[in-house]
Amino acid sequence: MTDRVVLAYSGGLDTSVAIGWIAERTGAEVVAVAVDVGQGGEDLETIRERALACGAVEAEVADARDEFADEYCLPALQAGALYMDRYPLVSAISRPVIVKHLVAAARQHGASVVAHGCTGKGNDQVRFEVGIQSLAPELSCIAPVRDLALTRDKAIEFATSRELPIETTKNNPFSIDQNVWGRAVETGFLEDIWNAPTKDVYSYTEEPGQSPGPDELVLEFERGVPVAIDGRRVTVLQAIEELNQRAGAQGVGRIDMVEDRLVGIKSREVYEAPGAIALLTAHEELENVTLERELARFKRGVSQRWAELVYDGLWFSPLKRALDVFVAESQRHVTGEVRLVLHGGRAVVTGRRSETSLYDFSLATYDSGDTFDQSLAKGFVDIWGLSSKIASGRDQRTDG
């Protein structure tokens, strides 16, 4: 029986060429699997037909948009996940859902190998292969670009010589990955980190300085889940999509950063994540009024570690699963409404209200009606600072 390889297929030049490239170099049949995570572009049936025309023995397409929003974007939102305090894990959270569909296809079609289009320099090779190994240790992985010497020039030559039904040149100088949670842009002139991004880098967002008048909206959450915009019930996917449009029109969510890749190099990345940034901003503010102080302080450390694990390709790791339980528990009282104003590249919170709020007006006010017993404060301050006071006295005696 001929071996089979399941290929993560995007419909573009590199993965289209990889179908025949893998077949010629390994003798295996290739099953192409495309997963829609809200990246837009061509419809799934067109992509499926192209895979077959390029030599795949079978081709599958999966509409995973709601699955991606509910099971991957939402956990990132509830975790408050920002890698290096800025990057909302646009690409990192899409890889596990793609991996899940690749593994299912491999088992369905009797494949022993899964292939992906990543290079040996990036994070995605780790995310794909560690994820596959975690879900299906019996499967092995290959990367045509990394393992089978499929360079860009060879891909164009291969496609031209075999008259494959794909474009063999690209005017776009960038490497782009996008989904409903955001868009990642790298390479080209951006590799010189002194160069400013030009207008053609952006697609999800308009120029902040040219945005229309302010857009005010109210986001409603139930247990950390966005459930309504301006009183209209929405799914998680619908919330992200609508905020991509509204926040994107205001230039919200542009990120230009040099980040630490898992493989040890620094990389310049430009991201657009208007919906993600708007949601993260509102969600964080609702947590500010509903999470108890020590829980909130601890969660900030969990958020950072969660983001690092996911960025580093450890979505299916035991620590990530354990942190998921903590995050889920932390969302028990994150219910309420947040008013946001989107304008000039910023999402600004202007109001918040919640039936589970820990904000007590009578304790917080400095006006009449204040119920805070200030007579207790002096003793509290004395006891709170006692250990520092004793240590300071010791230091003055011994260090003088």
Catalytic residue IDs: 14, 95, 124, 175
Q: CA-CA distances (angstroms) from residue 5 to 34, 80, 134, 231, 289?
A: 14, 37, 18, 48, 51
Task: Classify burial at 369, counting beta carbons within 10 Å of its beta carbon; exposed 0-12, middle 13-18, buried 19 or more.
Answer: exposed
Round to whole Å and give the CA distance between 22 and 167. 20
CB atoms within 10 A of CB 164: 20
Which residue type sits at 6? V
Beta strands in the chain (DSSP E): 4-8, 29-36, 58-63, 113-115, 140-142, 175-179, 182-186, 215-222, 225-229, 232-233, 254-260, 266-272, 336-343, 346-353
- Give Dmax (Cα) for the chain: 86
d(C-alpha 64, C-alpha 39), whole Å: 11
Cα Rg of the chain, angstroms:
25
